[in-house]
Amino acid sequence: MYESLAIVGATGAVGRIILALLEEREFPIERVKFLASKRSAGGPITFRGRQHLIEELTPTAFAGIDLAIGSTPDEVARDFAPAAVKAGAVVIDESGYWRMDPQVPLVIPEVNPEAVDDHRGIIASPNCSTTQMVQALKPLHDAARVRRVIVSTYQATSGAGLSGSRELEEGTRAEIAGEKYKYETFTHPIAFNLIPQIGSPKQQGYTSEEIKMVRETRKILGDETILVCPTCVRVPVANCHSESILVETERKLSVDEARELFAATPGLVVVDDLDAKQYPMPRTCEGRNETFIGRIREDLSSPNGLAFWCVSDNLRKGAATNAVQIAELLVSRARQAAVAR
């Protein structure tokens, strides 16, 4: 059973939401440890009405810990996860470092919950842009087998961390005031602008963010034949990623059938009434744990094509919520195993 939990990166944007979700969802844990960088260690943090001390993340910090949820840069996850596993903890990692490791399951609880049973100490949570897309693809794939996906993302600045959100706000103020602003997180001004590059150049003109969507989608759905063509764009929106998705399936899906499949899938919410101007938007989806689907329509250029619009809070379902759901899944699995014994 899981009785002790460590939150790694507790002071970051995602870490703070993880704490809030653990409280909101009354996660069953007896002892919680809060870990962060040396710079943040020693400071206070409030959880469940009590003040706790933030401890420095070190290889020895996981003694007595059963479960760890980490939201850190790749290079930190590379080092802390094996140390935590060696100490006896199961690690749920938000970074990109472990996602494509063949020995590490990549999990969205609504999509492939059974994958957690194959973990060897580390469970990876997918990239935020992948998570919402694969959630939407899953019911279509089960019903008619997805063959090809063309996706364009409109990704919020919060996806670049606290500094990304700060630069959007400060850069916009400077732009309106006619002042110059020095961007450090973004390579170009984000205020009143779009940046069609997220991540580093990778292969054949695609960026690291785009390649993640290709590889992670195939791994989560367990189908290496799915073709994915992504274009990832940073937009001047504070929070929530939006995606325009075009899917080609082996069997034709009607709009009505697709709508029914989406509506019947846990974690998905359909908001789709063009006449009434009702569809998902970042302003209406922020702070929610679900993924929202709208603008469902047939592809005019392909007989088996379906187009739709998808919005999700990238800090929640794209990161914190998915990690907490994996933790809940582990606890549930452990309880079921205990009863079976």
Residue 185 CB partners (closer than 8 Å, separation 6+): 160, 161, 163, 164, 167
Helix H segments across 194-300?
208-221, 255-263, 282-285
Q: H or E segment at 232? A: strand 227-234
* Per annotation, catalytic residue among 128, 240, 285, 310: 128
| pLDDT computed for residue 339 by the predictor | 83
Residue 128 bears catalytic tag: yes
Topology of the domain covering 4-126+319-340: Rossmann fold (3.40.50)
Q: How far apart are CA 13 and CA 294, in angstroms?
A: 28
| pLDDT computed for residue 27 by the predictor | 95
Domain boundaries along the sequence of the chain: 4-126+319-340, 129-314
> Model confidence at 323, in pLDDT bands (50, 70, 90)?
very high
Predicted confidence (pLDDT) per residue in 279-318, tens digit: 999 999 999 999 999 999 999 999 999 999 999 999 999 9
Provide the percentage of residues in the chain whose pLDDT is more than 70: 100
Residue written as token pair 């999700």: 312
Predicted confidence (pLDDT) per residue in 91-125, tens digit: 999 999 999 999 999 999 999 999 999 999 999 99
> Model confidence at 330, in pLDDT bands (50, 70, 90)?
very high
Residue 249 CB partners (closer than 8 Å, separation 6+): 140, 141, 143, 144, 145, 146, 147, 304, 306
Helix H segments across 197-281?
208-221, 255-263
Buried b (16+ CB within 10 A) or exposed e, 154-172: bbbbbbbbeebbebbeebb
CB-based contact 103:120 (threshold 8 Å): yes
Residue 310 bears catalytic tag: no
* Per annotation, catalytic residue among 141, 240, 241, 310: 241
This prediction has a pTM of: 0.95
CB-based contact 285:312 (threshold 8 Å): yes
**Residue whose C-alpha is closest to residue 27's, from 80, 63, 66:** 66
Predicted confidence (pLDDT) per residue in 1-51, tens digit: 799 999 999 988 899 999 999 999 999 988 999 999 888 888 999 999 899
Tokens of 84: 């935590």
CB-based contact 200:192 (threshold 8 Å): no
Predicted confidence (pLDDT) per residue in 198-214, tens digit: 999 999 999 999 999 99
Superfamily of domain 129-314, CATH level 4? Dihydrodipicolinate Reductase; domain 2 (3.30.360.10)
